[in-house]
Amino acid sequence: MDILNTFRISGSALQAQTTRLNTISSNLANVETTSTPEGGPYKKKSVVFQSTPLSFQEQLEGIRGGAQGVSVTKITEDTSAPRKVYNPSHPDAKEDGYVEMPNISVLEEMVDMMSATRSYQANVTSIKMAKRMAMKALDIGR
């Protein structure tokens, strides 16, 4: 595999994980948001990844050796019903005293954040190692 392919593939993964981390951060920041401009409570967002297919030119030239990167195809919103919390003194409470809250688990979001952070770190390590190998190859040539 070409060293530039390593950079391309890891770079695409870094971009995807950055989007994932930003989405998780948004979910955590809005865990108590009961009113949005669209109406109703904040809806949890999730990132959908897809492998990046080879372009026709890359397939023709055999670039990447069949390896593929990753990209974010879309960011989806949770369609499940919001959780209801009894708090009649809340400004967004309904007549029955219940407030519709976002259906976000802080624990699940933190686990997802740790996973995304570790994936990001693994790709940074991959780039660093490819860089070291390239530098060692240049040192051999001296």
Count up the domains in the chain and report the number. 1
Give the residue numbers spanning the domain of 125.
Answer: 3-140
CB 78 within 8 A of CB 93: no
| 76-133 pLDDT per residue, tens | 999 999 999 999 999 989 999 999 999 999 999 999 999 999 999 999 999 999 999 9
Q: H-helix or E-strand containing 27?
A: helix 3-29
CA angle 47, 52, 58 (to 5 degrees): 165
CA distance 51 to 122: 18
How many CB atoms neighbour CB 74 within 10 A? 9
Output the average pLDDT for the chain. 88
Return the percentage of the chain with pLDDT > 70, whole number: 89
| 1-46 pLDDT per residue, tens | 577 778 888 999 999 999 999 999 999 999 999 988 888 899 999 9
For CA atoms 124, 127, 132, 133, the dihedral sign is positive
CA distance 131 to 138: 11
